[in-house]
Amino acid sequence: MEAAPAPAPAPAPAPSLPGSGPRGVLQQNRQFLDFFWDIAKPQQETRLAATESLLQYLRASEQEDELKYTLKRLIEGLGATREAARPGFSLALAQVLQFFEEIPLHTVLQQIKEKHNLERVKKKLFRNAAFGNFFGVLALFQSGRLAKDKKALLECVRLLQSLAQHHAHLRDLPRKTLVDILSEIPEAVFEEVLFSALQADLTSAFSTPEQLHLLLVGIQKFPGVLKPSKLKILLGSSAIVTVENIPRLVKVLKTAARSEKKDRNLPRVGLDLLRVSVKEGAFELFWKEAVENGLLKEKSGPNSYMCYRLLGSALPLLSLDQLQIVLRGEVMRHYGDHVVSAQLPDRFKFAPEMETYVNSFLEGCDDPEKQLAVMIGFSTLTNQGYPVVPSFWKVVKHLQPVVLLKYVDWLKRMFLRPDFDCCLDFTTSRQKQNQEKVNMTQHRVVRLRKWIIARLVSIIDSQGKKEEDLVMDVVRFCFFHAFFETQKPTSEIPETKSLPSVPLDGQSHSTAANLFFSLLQILNSLPVLGDTAEAAALREKHIHGVTADRNLWIYLIIQYASVLLSHEKHVKAVTPFTAEQRAAWDRMLQSLENLQKKEKESRSMEIFAFQHLLLLVGIHLFKTPAETQDLLNDLLNCIERAFDKKSKKKPDDEEPEWVEVIVEILLSLLSQPSLLMRRVSKSVFGRICPYLSKKALHLILNVLDPEQDQDEESAVVVMEETDKKKKTLLEDTNEEESADSSDDDSSEEDGEEDSEAENNNEGVDENFRNQLMNVLQAGNALGGDKSDEDVDDETMLALDENVSALFAEQQKRVQAKKDEKEKMRKEKILRRDFKIKVLDLIEVFLAKQPENPLVFDIIEPLLLVIERSMSSDSDKQEQDFLQKTADIFTNHLCRAKQYCRSGGDLREDLHALLESLVKRASKHTDSAVALYYFSASLYLFKVLKGNVARQTATPLSPSKKKLKSSEGSSAQTDQLSGTGILDLKRVTMVYQAALNGFLTRRKSALTGSMFLDLFNRFPVMCKPLIDTLVKSITAGARQHQQAQACMLLQKALQTRDLKLSMTSEEEWEELIRESTNQITESLKAVSEFKVKVDQEKVIKCLELLNFLIKTVNQQKLNVALAELSQALQALSQQEGFGKSVRLDSLYWNVMKLLGFVRPKKEKAAARPEHVPGAEPLKRKKKGFLPATKKRKNRKKTPQENGAESSREAGPENGAESGREAGTENRAESGREAGTEGGEAAARKKNKKRKGGAGKAGAEGPSKKAKGSHGQETQGKQGKAKKKKKANKTPAQKA
């Protein structure tokens, strides 16, 4: 039992209970006592489990003494010193009182007050006693029986009232508990028992928040008792919220706000006061005078946050008119100012908490008008036109469908006709200081429109219930105002019916266009909407991006765009199409129509993918018409050639195949920073994988080639242009936060500092030095001994101008170098990002076409990427690129379950590639890279071995079950003779050379795990390589290689197929004999165990020997083991043999197999035999007199005294036995202390001291008892140190 988690400050002796033995309950059941230790532990789970176990024990026991002891221990624990123990004991006491209803509460309360008496307790234990009383009352209340016992209830309330005076220790806990008790008792009990006791607190309700809260709870809980007439008597007014009471209410609220500053919660008195004001019909008075003109006027953090929390908490309690008052009041404006100002880092942000309030209100509100009022109220809280709530506010998911429609209509109206009169607009103090002379009206309109478009897009992306009509309405609105303008209203286009009051400028159109393409990505991943059975079926299939009638959302947008383009009189494009662009658009529509016809006939996913790609490229005509026109024409040509039957004819050599053009188009789309483009490109590439040619694949692999990085500048240009657009998109979608700009500034400053440091490290430009010298010489500034007085002012001015011009030119050159370096760095980042995207295509190809022979062309490029990445810079992007490449190579290529089965024509090429991979792995210097080369060779081994073998094995049996049984019955034939197109002799030479190099070269990148993988996956290689392993046991380059040879040989011998491949039993027996002889020779060569590799080698030899000897014994092979036994016996005599526990264990396992018995270990130091009649040696106790100061015991003989003095004079003679005796004494005293309690251990210790030390030992405790432990003199402490030093053994001194 550990002594740390004691439930009380000091261990208590066993209580004297009726019917208990001399030791009481302490000796009856140790498990019963453990419950109280666990209840005091800090872990909540442990406390709860102990409480439950204690209750179960008491129910089953039914012993009165144990129940009494339980109450006593729990009451004592209520005032424990550790804070975690008090609630544990309180909860346990509450559970016990709840179950054992025969225990009177009044008696328990008296015991609590007697145990934790505040009048008699010492000053330093006063806090613990106060908490003991409090947690005792809390336990009685939590038992659920307090309301039934009126006497106990009254005493508990009075005790809490007295405890409330000790605010320094308990703070407001007694008052809060009093409120909780008040909210649980019936009205009759309150009127009969507690009203008179609480009358003083109710009368002084405006003094403290706790007393006011008590009154407010009573008004709400007992309206029949605390009537207005009673309130008139108590307070002097029949209502709480009156004009006269406002100053006192404000004072109480400020006190409550300061008290809850750390907890960041709304004080309960504030919420109850809010409810009472609504109930009394005085909410407007309370809000205007108490909150806005009272709390809010004093500009302090706690007061402001309390006002915000009152605003959020008031939303569910108010009517529609009251909501309008709150949402357009000063608290709301003050909150908006806080949201904008808190964007700086290290500022407390209240916005997440307010979002929680609004979210809970919308979730629980059934009134559509209130929901709409709150959404519009927060949307019209604007800072210079820009709403303070985020455009992606997630609370919209709780809006009812009707409210969502009205809210979207309101957003569209505000976009077209911004009405700032209905907005609660404000400007922060910093904005007023930095305000420039701009057109504020236009500025606010632009900011508001940017937020509204982002808000509409986020509504489509929200999780709430939406209809297809609403989604399409938003899409049409965003698309129209992004790329078109109204010239004349028409009924065919609803978006033209209302003209903007302020025309959209170029910035608004650009913002809408960027956000529209973000909306396209959302639509592409949008699940099918609607409640129909067809929609549910499509959702179960996880189909996204389509409507319930299986039309792509983007196709509906294309149709809408065609309608707009056909109404040139009514609408005008922001960027009109040229004739060529319009022709490409019309051609795209015709191709879409043809693809739809083919899709209806075949329902091919390939056609669906091409259709999606064509739509995506076509819609980009509106954003970047010049760049998209050529791309769209190439794509249309490819689609026509791909689906035209005549395209099956052999194309011209000069003209590329359609699949190659498609791959180039996909690569150009991947260079754009669009997630939608990336996903659609992957989808389309997965559909064209069956048609991929070698040239098309190499177009992708060339992008990954590290040697061709210089040839990728065209792709980088595309990426740079699109990257700028991506930045503008992010700026449009995010709020304008000063924190973001400050972060950018700091990063730019860091970059400048780095570049300056680099420039400082560079040497001074010699050309610049010469130019400076020439300028100074021309101005006679380097005149040697001539003084400055010889140079006139005009010459000096001319010299200054020339020098300043020279330095300005040099500064431009330095800046140009910086810009060039920065440009190269950005290009490298863009190029690497593009390659990471291209890896997606490789991954798709390996997943879709693992049996394609083109897979073999991917091996070397990926290996080259891995090798170059491991040796290059290790920044995060490079590491991500390397990790993704290695993951694709390992998991999707080398470990693929399916592989090419038609590689007969590639037999020679595959063998040459395998040979090359193994040789390159052997010659490499990095084991990590060599592992990938070796894994690739094993993949080719699998392809060569299993290619034809699987084809010939298929017709043996028509069913899979028969195939498995045939393979199981003829395992030897399948494994050994079924090598497919594998040239086993040629491959054996390759791996044998690699294995020989691994075991004979001192430095090799190959590892034993590589060959273990070879033996595990292809047991057919065990027999050809077994001779090399056997010879390397002794012929290995170093001990490590010899150990690896033993490990590999053991694995090969354990392979079942190796023995099956043996032509006779004699061959197997000869292999075992030769292996045993080699190990014997290797063990004979071991002469010492100085380093770890020596132990490693012997351990591997012994592991192999363990298997060999078991094989010899089980199979009764004729193998001589006598020489081996002699070598093993000699091995154990080597220096350092017994240092390794594992080595010693393996050694004796082998020796047992040879018939040797492990000798029993002798003890380190045997005890000396006792002379008959002499007393055993005893360890000297600390704190006793040395031998020179002791008086001789007259009762002992002179010989005994002499023997005792000689033992004390030479402690080194009995050091070992003294330590053993001391250990036994300590263990014995520890066990006794654990079982019999602290007092029993103390008695045992005193008894030993008296018997061993005589009179001197008896005097020690008596001297110590005269004074306290902390009042020892300096002389005594010095003597104690000397005794301690004298008692040390020589080993301890050393």
pLDDT digits (tens, 9 = 90+) for 408-441: 999 999 999 999 888 998 888 888 777 765 678 8
Contacts 24+ apart (CB under 8 A), 1235-1243: 1235/27, 1235/30, 1236/23, 1236/26, 1236/27, 1237/11, 1237/13, 1237/14, 1237/23, 1237/26, 1238/11, 1238/13, 1239/13
H or E element, residue 598: helix 579-602
Q: Lowest mean pLDDT of 492-501, 621-630, 1062-1071, 1184-1193, name the range.
A: 1184-1193
pLDDT value at position 61? 82
Average pLDDT of the residues in 537-556: 88
Q: Are strands 386-387 and 381-383 parallel, antiparallel or unpaired?
A: antiparallel
pLDDT value at position 376? 94
What number of helices (H) and strands (E) belong to the chain?
Answer: 57, 5
Distance from the Cα of residue 822 to its chain's centroid: 34
What one-character-per-residue DSSP string does 920-965 give?
Answer: HHHH-S-HHHHHHHHHHHHHHHHHHHHHHHHHHHGGG-SSHHHHHH
Q: Around Cβ 308, how many Cβ atoms within 10 Å?
A: 22
pLDDT value at position 1280? 45
What's the rounded Cα separation, in Å, for the pair 809 and 381?
52
- pLDDT above 90 (res 871): no
Q: Compute the mean pLDDT over every residue in the chain, rounded to the nearest whole number.
A: 78
Work out the percent of the chain whose per-residue pLDDT is above 90. 30
Nearest to 260 by CA among 292, 289, 303: 303
What's the rounded Cα separation, in Å, for the pair 248 and 846?
77
- pLDDT above 70 (res 1205): no
pLDDT value at position 438? 66
Structure-token pair, residue 153 = 């209830």
What is the chain's length?
1294
For 538, residues 6+ apart whose C-beta sits below 8 A from its C-beta are 528, 546, 548, 550
Average pLDDT of the residues in 1123-1135: 86
pLDDT digits (tens, 9 = 90+) for 572-629: 999 999 999 999 999 999 988 888 887 776 657 778 778 888 898 899 999 888 888 8
Contact 859, 893 (CB under 8 A): yes
One-letter-per-residue 3-state SS of 280-300? HCCHHHHHHHHHHHHHCCCCC
Structure-token pair, residue 914 = 């395998």
Classify the C-alpha dihedral 12-16-17-22 as positive or negative: positive
- pLDDT above 70 (res 1212): no
pLDDT digits (tens, 9 = 90+) for 113-137: 898 988 888 888 888 898 999 999 9
pLDDT value at position 951? 40
pLDDT digits (tens, 9 = 90+) for 973-1029: 334 446 778 889 999 999 999 999 999 988 889 999 999 999 999 999 999 999 999
- Write down the residue that tokens 């509409």 correspond to: 456
pLDDT digits (tens, 9 = 90+) for 745-794: 444 444 444 444 444 444 456 777 777 777 777 766 555 444 445 556 77
Average pLDDT of the residues in 195-223: 86
What's the rounded Cα separation, in Å, for the pair 136 and 78?
7
Buried b / exposed e over 531-566, threshold 16 CB at 10 Å, is eeeebeebeeeeeebbbbeeebbbbbbbebbeebbe
Q: How confident is the model at residue 1171 (pLDDT cuts 50, 70, 90)?
A: very low
- pLDDT above 60 (res 1169): no
pLDDT value at position 1183? 57
Average pLDDT of the residues in 708-729: 44
H or E element, residue 533: helix 533-540
Alpha-carbon distances of 331 from 308, 309, 328, 344, rounded to whole Å: 7, 10, 8, 21
pLDDT digits (tens, 9 = 90+) for 340-356: 988 777 788 899 999 99
Q: Around Cβ 656, how many Cβ atoms within 10 Å?
A: 17
pLDDT digits (tens, 9 = 90+) for 922-937: 998 899 999 999 999 9
pLDDT digits (tens, 9 = 90+) for 1052-1066: 999 888 888 888 888
Residues paired with 552 in a beta bridge = 546
The single-letter DSSP state of residue 1121 is -
Structure-token pair, residue 162 = 């007295």
pLDDT digits (tens, 9 = 90+) for 46-72: 999 999 999 998 888 878 888 889 999
- pLDDT above 80 (res 503): yes
The burial class, CB within 10 Å (0-12 / 13-18 / 19+), for 65 is middle
The single-letter DSSP state of residue 890 is I
pLDDT value at position 485? 92
Query: What is the three-class DSSP state of 486?
Result: strand
pTM to 2 decimal places: 0.67
- pLDDT above 90 (res 824): no
Q: Are strands 484-486 and 571-573 parallel, antiparallel or unpaired?
A: antiparallel
